[in-house]
Amino acid sequence: MSFTYQAGTPFAGDGLKDITTTIRDGSYTAIIGHTGSGKSTLLQHLNALLKPTAGTVTIGDRVITSETNNKNLKPIRQQVGMVFQFAENQLFEQTVAKDIAFGPENFGVPSAEAEKQAAAMVDLVGLPQAVLEQSPFDLSGGQMRRVAIAGVLAMKPTVLVLDEPTAGLDPAGRNDMMKMFQRLHEKQGMTIVLVTHQMDDVADYADHVLVMDEGHLIKEGTPREIFQSEQWLADHQLGLPKTAAMARDLTKQGFHFDPLPLTTDELADQLAKQIGGGAHD
Amino acid sequence: MTKLLLGRYLPGDSWVHKLDPRTKLMASFYYIGIIFLANNWQTYLLMFVATMVMVAASKIKLGFFLRGVRPMIWLILFTVMLQVFFTKGGTTYWSWGWLAITQYGLTNGAFIFMRFVLIIFVSTLLTLTTQPLSLADAVESLLKPLRVLHVPVTELALVLQIALRFVPTLMDQTTKIMNAQRARGVDFGTGNLFQQMKAVVPLLIPLFVDSFGIAEDLATAMDARGYQGGDGRTKFRVLQYHQKDIFAGLVMVVLTVSLVFMRA
């Protein structure tokens, strides 16, 4: 699949070039790559906000090509919930409850039911029920972000697409939010597609990684495969997760790690064995 | 969003691009003024040739200029039709009640059409070859004499510059918010008028909130750096007239003189 911005003008710029990949149902896919590598452009193809200039995108049983009509895309938009960068910018209603209910109502859920859902969603994203009747503009930035995410989750999507959902949040807020997405993934089997610059999040949560560079898909695999070669990562302006970086430093001190530890637990386990202690718990 | 041609600058280094923005601004207005002097085939032909020479000198494809005409085409055709049907005189080719197509009507229609197209071409030429910020500089420079009358020229120019500077930013933001709301099931541009008006609310409110945020941030940033307009503030880009500008001025004089002699 390929995509060209402003095709047919002198401003035409390649967005994506010959991308072929599959994001499996129920997977947790991370898309990484430096700024301007085409990550966000790729995301917008996942719910037909952009249509490929060449090739096809298959979402569930719908096939999207450059000729697809703009009408009747609603089922896709409902199925694939999308949380944009700085999602708090999309809030507009007078109360939080109404804003969260806005999505479901657009997909035909009756008002009363949608507002009832809003209450459940506020809970899910970890906000007190009291915010429901507040204006979203009276909340803090982090709370607004949560409301926006609740607004997307209220549409009951089966796939959740996240474009740097934790950018600009404090470490605690970031951690909470990533844990919440993980719960949705584990408990409801939600397919998650995450664009991020946080290699630690990739190592901790993702089971599949796509690496983008200048509109090309340059590597694809499990986090362990991706983080294997530090040199390759550096060449593409990417880094190692903290755990892998620590393992690398320890290797220089004579330690040996196999396989490459990605999570803190894996690192601790392997380390404990080598310094002669019992298994880490 | 990509169809908006007005105010879109096409980078280049042609003769027209290099003219002083003040020259371009004044010459464009002047040229639009003298188009109204044309009133017969010869004068319109002269203006047409002159415009085409300017377009060629800008090294920009003709297609861009034609695209500038497209959004105005219905207004142009409507005006042309009025001229064709309501001007009386000369041979009558066709008539029905008080409607008639006459020789004068047809010529007038053609003239009006030419006038519209030439005006659009020239203004498109100005915006395609001049950066918006240079235009704002030019306005400031040309309005300077008004300072004697205590007109806040620098502040006006600053307002203009900021407005122009944030057009692309706000367009980007509009696209982003539209995408976010479309992802939440909003259909822009479908349904009846009422539905379409309703669909704009989730777009406009975030955009307003965002604009106020940008304005506040900008004001703080300017304060923090001690911005003070008016006297004593020098410019990084100093505007200066060159030989080209004198030549452009001469061309305008020659055109005016020719028009005065050739018009009926």
The string of pLDDT tens digits covering residues A77-88 is: 888 999 998 888
pLDDT by residue (tens digit) across B209-246? 999 999 999 999 999 998 877 667 777 878 888 899 99
Q: Has residue A198 been placed in a domain?
A: yes
Residues A106 and B185 sit within 8 Å (Cβ to Cβ): yes
Average pLDDT over residues A88-114: 90
Same domain, residue pair A78 and A31: yes
| Distance between CA atoms of residues B40 and A192, nearest Å | 70
pLDDT (0 to 100) of residue B6: 47
Same domain, residue pair A213 and A79: yes
Average pLDDT over residues A161-171: 89
Average pLDDT over residues B80-106: 84
pLDDT (0 to 100) of residue B5: 42
Confidence of residue B252 (pLDDT cuts 50, 70, 90): very high
| Distance between CA atoms of residues B177 and A91, nearest Å | 9
ipTM reported for the complex surpasses 0.90: no
Q: What angle do CA B154, B159, B164 make, to 5 degrees?
A: 125
Residues A46 and A226 sit within 8 Å (Cβ to Cβ): no
Q: What residue type is B170 in one-letter code?
A: L
- Looking at the structure of chain A, the number of domains it has is 2
Residues B143 and B153 sit within 8 Å (Cβ to Cβ): yes
List the single residue in B with minimal CA-CA distance to A136.
B206
**In 10 A of CB B248, how many CB atoms?**
20
**In 10 A of CB A274, how many CB atoms?**
13
Q: Has residue A55 been placed in a domain?
A: no
Same domain, residue pair A105 and A29: yes
Confidence of residue B77 (pLDDT cuts 50, 70, 90): very high
> What CATH number should be reported for the domain holding residue A118?
3.40.50.300
Q: Is A229 on the interface with B (CB under 8 A)?
A: no
pLDDT (0 to 100) of residue B93: 82
Domain that holds residue A254: 241-281
Q: Has residue A10 been placed in a domain?
A: no
Pairing of strands A191-195, A208-213: unpaired
Percent of chain B having pLDDT more than 70? Answer: 97
Average pLDDT over residues B162-168: 83
Q: What residue type is B101 in one-letter code?
A: I
In chain A, residues with a C-beta closer than 8 Å to the C-beta of B176 are 84, 89
Mean pLDDT lowest among A39-48, B87-96, B175-184, B219-228 = B87-96
pLDDT (0 to 100) of residue B228: 79
Closest CA to A237 of A17, A36, A14, A2: A36
pLDDT (0 to 100) of residue B206: 93
Q: Has residue A234 been placed in a domain?
A: no
Same domain, residue pair A205 and A271: no
Is residue A74 predicted with pLDDT exceeding 60? yes
Beta bridge partners of A5: A13
Average pLDDT over residues A180-188: 91
Are the beta carbons of A84 and B176 separated by less than 8 Å? yes
pLDDT (0 to 100) of residue A277: 61
Same domain, residue pair A94 and A220: yes
**Distances in whole angstroms, Cα of residue B8 to Cα of each of A159, A206, B5:** 39, 43, 5
Average pLDDT over residues B43-59: 93
Same domain, residue pair A76 and A146: yes
Q: For chain B, which residues make up each domain, given as ranges? A: 15-130+240-262, 143-224
Are the beta carbons of A155 and B201 separated by less than 8 Å? no
Query: DSSP string covering A76-133, please?
Result: HHHHEEEE-TTGGGG--SSSHHHHHHHHHHHTT--HHHHHHHHHHHHHHTT--GGGGG
pLDDT (0 to 100) of residue B133: 81
Confidence of residue B1 (pLDDT cuts 50, 70, 90): very low
| Distance between CA atoms of residues A200 and A222, nearest Å | 14
Q: Is B211 on the interface with A (CB under 8 A)?
A: no
Same domain, residue pair A215 and A265: no
pLDDT (0 to 100) of residue A70: 75
pLDDT (0 to 100) of residue A237: 80
Is residue A161 predicted with pLDDT exceeding 70? yes
pLDDT (0 to 100) of residue B79: 92
Residues B262 and B46 sit within 8 Å (Cβ to Cβ): yes
Query: Is A115 annotated in the active site?
Result: no
pLDDT by residue (tens digit) across B103-129? 888 998 999 999 999 999 999 999 889
Catalytic residue among A105, A164, A225, A266: A164
pLDDT (0 to 100) of residue A250: 84
Confidence of residue B4 (pLDDT cuts 50, 70, 90): very low
Is residue B165 predicted with pLDDT exceeding 60? yes
- Which has the higher per-residue pLDDT, A273 or A113? A113
Q: Is B62 on the interface with A (CB under 8 A)?
A: no
Q: Has residue A18 been placed in a domain?
A: no
Cα of A177 to nearest chain B Cα, Å:
20
Average pLDDT, chain B: 87
Same domain, residue pair A278 and A190: no
pLDDT (0 to 100) of residue A280: 52
Please report how the helices B73-86 and B103-129 are oriented relative to each other, as an axis angle in degrees rounded to 10.
160
| Distance between CA atoms of residues A167 and A22, nearest Å | 26
Same domain, residue pair A210 and A273: no
Confidence of residue B92 (pLDDT cuts 50, 70, 90): confident
